[in-house]
């Protein structure tokens, strides 16, 4: 469904084709949403919904307020938070997202680090976890991060620094 939406559109926010926006953001957007939801199937649905909403609302995009990428991540963030609220209301079981790369890489040390970081992220405050996921999974710049979070770039950088410091602390990594 996502690909169909991307192919059918000629123009996207920021002047690029919607297809180009899809190709440049889809993998990072899915990874970010999957990290938040910890459910691959729900992440696919939310990612498709984010692109659908972006396509329908593309005329409302204002380049002065940020990049098309940060706008799309904000839409995905809101859709993922809606999904989490819906889950809370229905009290559904959250399925742990499997890290497929750890099964095939054969590097035990790398696999241990991934588990350590995953456990460390799980122990963080949701706001700290979100800023780390947006930055490192979503690959957003600090400016894009600020626009998604609705704060200044300085505040976003400070939040990111504190979150990474906290993650290092819980993972027992020297600074």
Return the CATH number at 78.
Answer: 1.10.1740.10
Of 36, 66, 97, which residue sits at a domain end? 97
Whether residues 26 and 92 fall in one domain? yes
> pLDDT for 136-154, tens place per residue?
999 999 999 999 988 999 9
Measured distance CA(134)–CA(121) in Å, rounded:
13
Whether residues 27 and 48 fall in one domain? yes
> pLDDT for 108-132, tens place per residue?
888 888 888 888 988 888 889 889 9
Measured distance CA(138)–CA(129) in Å, rounded:
12
Whether residues 8 and 80 fall in one domain? yes
Q: What is the CATH number for 170?
A: 1.10.10.10
For the question of whether the overall pTM of this predicted structure is more than 0.75, the answer is no
Maximum CA extent, the chain: 50
Whether residues 93 and 146 fall in one domain? no
Question: What one-character-per-residue DSSP string does 96-132 give?
Answer: PPP-THHHHS--HHHHHHHHHHHHHHHHS-HHHHHHH
Whether residues 91 and 24 fall in one domain? yes
Whether residues 130 and 87 fall in one domain? no
What domain range is 114 assigned to? 102-175
The phi, psi pair for 137, rounded to 5°, reads -90, -45
Share of the chain above pLDDT 90, in %: 43
Measured distance CA(111)–CA(133) in Å, rounded:
19
What's the confidence (pLDDT) of residue 154?
92
Whether residues 84 and 7 fall in one domain? yes
The one-character DSSP state at 92 is P
Structural domains counted in the chain: 2
- Cα angle value 58/66/64 (rounded, 5°): 85
Whether residues 80 and 130 fall in one domain? no
């Amino acid at each position: 469904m996502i690909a169909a939406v991307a192919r059918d559109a000629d123009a996207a926010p920021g002047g690029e084709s919607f297809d180009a926006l899809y190709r440049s953001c889809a993998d990072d957007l899915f990874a970010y949403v999957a990290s938040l939801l910890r459910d691959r199937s729900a992440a696919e649905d939310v990612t498709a919904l984010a692109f659908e909403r972006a396509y329908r609302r593309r005329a409302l995009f204002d380049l002065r307020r940020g990049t098309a990428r940060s706008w799309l991540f904000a839409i995905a963030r809101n859709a993922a938070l809606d999904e989490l609220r819906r889950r809370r209301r229905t009290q559904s079981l959250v399925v742990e997202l499997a890290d497929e790369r750890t099964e095939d890489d054969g590097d035990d040390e790398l696999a241990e680090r991934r588990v350590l970081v995953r456990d460390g992220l799980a122990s963080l405050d949701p706001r700290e976890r979100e800023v780390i996921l947006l930055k490192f999974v979503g690959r957003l710049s600090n400016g894009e991060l600020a626009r998604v979070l609705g704060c200044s770039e300085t505040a976003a950088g400070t939040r990111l620094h504190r979150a990474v410091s906290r993650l290092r602390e819980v993972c027992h990594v020297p600074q």
